[in-house]
Amino acid sequence: MRAQPAASHFINGTPHEDPVGQLLESRYPATGEVIASLRAATPETVNAAVAAARTGFKVWAATPPVERGRVLRRAADILRERNRELSELETLDTGKPLQETLVADAASGADCLEYYGGLAATLTGEHIDLGGSFAYTRREPLGVVGAIGAWNYPIQIACWKAAPALVCGNAVVFKPSEVTPLSALKLAEILKEAGLPDGVFNVVQGFGETGAHLVSHPDVAKVSLTGSVPTGKRVAATAAETLKHVTLELGGKSPLIIFDDADLENAVSAAINANFYSSGQICSNGTRVFVQKGLKEAFLARLAERTAKARMGDPMDESVDTGPLVSQSQLDKVMAYVAKGVDEGARLVCGGTRATVEGFPDGLFVEPTVFADVVDHMTIAREEIFGPVMCVLDFENEDEAIARANATEFGLAAGVFTRDLQRGHRVIAQLQAGTCWINTYNLTPVEMPFGGYKMSGIGRENGHAAIAHYSQIKSVYVEMGDVESAY
């Protein structure tokens, strides 16, 4: 089972190899098998990618926005035509079940490219009437964007960053996670096939050092990162040295508040999706599930019943809904948190062990895990686990739920379940989170801005809001009369 690309990098419209770069291996998490061996980019390779982007930028920025949109829409069509091939590649790289990748990865990336392709003709300035004179504004690109992806949704994240950047006329140098390096190379090939000029979208592989060199490069105008809070802090500090524009989509420990009057089945479904989809490896997951005391025991009983039905197995089997974690280090981290939850007195309702899956003895599988009687000071209630571990906390009343939900450094997402829509809107208005849901969870249509408050990030991805983060406004005053001066 191999997925070896033609080369490790994609620079100036062609595959590019860096034979002296550090070895980088992609492993299939279900078996541990190495499916591709690549080389990390040296500083010289990053410099070459940025130089190619600068040259490509001059051509792309001068391309009419409508034509930019056509290229993005053609790329979206190609992504959809090759969805199965790309989904299988994403499953090999991430371990996520094919049942998920067929609908949530390349397909959602195509939606993003199509959406921003459709916005291209609307990227206009404004005319400002000043009486005898007037002013106008121009929306202009920033230049070269350095984009750094995460390993949980590789091609989706690449599209979420590339689409708004490209439609605004920027060029991009994208660094995928070293854990999941493959699908970004396919995206680069597809964008070229769709008509994107050489140098406008480049891919460089590597570890933290590669990302740091990209962030500090003087010819990079903006950095967009999806990653952890510690990484985000380092990126922001480095970018500040040259006052680069920055978008940071970071971690979370998001609350999902379920009131007594909520529909039980829907609330359980949302809690499952908010904790176990993609084996819990989603930044916006609602991992602190606050359940009002009157519903708590019924909720836990039904949750345990339904969680027992999770199908864990071969990720390439479309009937399987629960796959392995992405890497051994991630599995070790998750299991350490499970042990900490037990040690600190949380009640283990189900799961809690590494799973043995027939035919996959080396697979990185963890049982979907639910802790009850969790209290706010516990480690599992405060720190992001990024695995299939749900913490259920109980509460008495609305004010208590809001205060405890907000008592965190994070603010990426939040959800509320209630039949009382007035209460739903009232509670959401008081939650300190950038992306919220009422009576559902984790739906992220590209039309809706996505991002966090507090330590969960800066800026927004998706929706019209992202345009502001990948462009700048130039104001022009036009004098129609004479110019007076004091002398």
Per-residue pLDDT tens listing for the chain (487 residues): 678 998 999 999 999 999 999 999 999 999 999 999 999 999 999 999 999 999 999 999 999 999 999 999 999 999 999 999 999 999 999 999 999 999 999 999 999 999 999 999 999 999 999 999 999 999 999 999 999 999 999 999 999 999 999 999 999 999 999 999 999 999 999 999 999 999 999 999 999 999 999 999 999 999 999 999 999 999 999 999 999 999 999 999 999 999 999 999 999 999 999 999 999 999 999 999 999 999 999 999 999 999 999 999 999 999 999 999 999 999 999 999 999 999 999 999 999 999 999 999 999 999 999 999 999 999 999 999 999 999 999 999 999 999 999 999 999 999 999 999 999 999 999 999 999 999 999 999 999 999 999 999 999 999 999 999 999 999 999 999 999 999 9
H-helix or E-strand containing 62? none
Question: What pLDDT is attached to residue 1?
Answer: 64
From the number of C-beta atoms within 10 Å of its C-beta (0-12, 13-18, 19+), residue 480 rates as exposed
Q: 96, 159, 161, 192: which is the annotated catalytic residue?
A: 161
Which residue is listed with tokens 């005898």?
132
Question: What pLDDT is attached to residue 84?
Answer: 98
Any catalytic annotation for residue 67?
no
Dihedrals φ, ψ of 425, to 5°? -70, -40
Q: Is the dihedral of CA 100, 101, 103, 108 positive or negative?
A: positive
pTM for the structure as a whole? 0.96
**What is residue 313's three-state secondary structure?**
coil
Q: 249, 367, 384, 398: which is the annotated catalytic residue?
A: 249
Neighbour tally for 409: CB within 10 Å: 12
Q: Is 299 left (phi over 0), alpha (psi -120 to 50) or beta?
A: alpha
Determine contact, residues 159/105, Cβ cutoff 8 Å: no
Q: 178, 367, 384, 461: which is the annotated catalytic residue?
A: 461
Any catalytic annotation for residue 296?
no
Q: 112, 159, 168, 283: which is the annotated catalytic residue?
A: 283
Question: What pLDDT is attached to residue 6?
Answer: 87
What residues does 473 pair with on adjacent strands?
139
Question: What pLDDT is attached to residue 2?
Answer: 77
Any catalytic annotation for residue 249?
yes
Helices (H), 250-376: 264-276, 293-307, 328-343
In 126-270, where do the E strands start and end? 127-130, 133-141, 144-148, 171-175, 201-203, 222-226, 245-249, 255-258
Q: Is the dihedral of CA 32, 33, 36, 41 positive or negative?
A: positive
Question: What pLDDT is attached to residue 166?
Answer: 98
Query: Residues for the chain: how many in total?
Result: 487
